Amino acid sequence: MNKATIIEDAITYIQELQKTSDDLSEELREMEASSEGGGKQMEMEGDAADEMEKCGIKEEIKVTYIDGNTLLIKIVLQKKRGCFTKLIETMDYLGFELSETSVTTFKGAMLFSSCVHGKFVDALMIEQTELLLDMIRSKEGNTC
């Protein structure tokens, strides 16, 4: 191989890399444009609310005392983006430790069940369940 061939091969390789880079940049722009639409996400959340309503599923919180500082908590919420994160942040804010946690989604609803341990679990009984639901809904100004 002589120098001219090596330089020619290098130029060809660089041009191929630039073409690949341009193609990937265009693909990224298309992906960003489709994700900025946001309408699809709102449509999916609206569908989730409709499905819950059709099936007669309602938002609720059930708290069952197990023993000592342990409760079993079951929460049914509308399935929305970020809702689970808000729920976990709220439980952490209240100082509860979670174990044996399960999350299931069906027909636009999210069922969260977990054993809750903590010093103040008795404060979560009947009158505090609505407060918990309100905190989850209003966390960071977003509706859950």
Same domain, 23 and 91: no
Same domain, 74 and 108: yes
Same domain, 87 and 124: yes
Same domain, 20 and 55: no
Same domain, 95 and 133: yes
Alpha-carbon dihedral of residues 53, 56, 62, 64, nearest 10 degrees? -160
> Residue 141: how many CB atoms within 10 A of its CB?
5
Same domain, 126 and 104: yes
How many domains are contained in the chain?
Answer: 2
DSSP string across the chain: --HHHHHHHHHHHHHHHHHHHHHHHHHHHHHHHHHHT-HHHHHHHHHHHHHHHHHT---EEEEEEEETTEEEEEEEEE--TTHHHHHHHHHHHTT-EEEEEEEEEETTEEEEEEEEE-TTGGGGSHHHHHHHHHHHHHGGG---
Same domain, 111 and 87: yes
Q: Are 88 and 136 in contact (CB under 8 A)?
A: no
Tell me the CATH number at 47: 3.30.70.260
Chain segment 34-78, per-residue pLDDT in tens? 766 554 554 555 566 677 777 777 888 888 888 878 888 898 888
Same domain, 72 and 134: yes
Same domain, 30 and 50: no
Cα(103)–Cα(58) distance, rounded to whole angstroms? 16
State if pTM tops 0.75.
no
Same domain, 49 and 27: no
Same domain, 59 and 29: no
Chain segment 107-140, per-residue pLDDT in tens? 888 899 999 887 766 666 655 666 666 766 665 4
Same domain, 56 and 94: yes
Domain that holds residue 32: 3-36
Q: For helices 126-138 and 83-93, what crossing angle results, to 10°?
A: 130
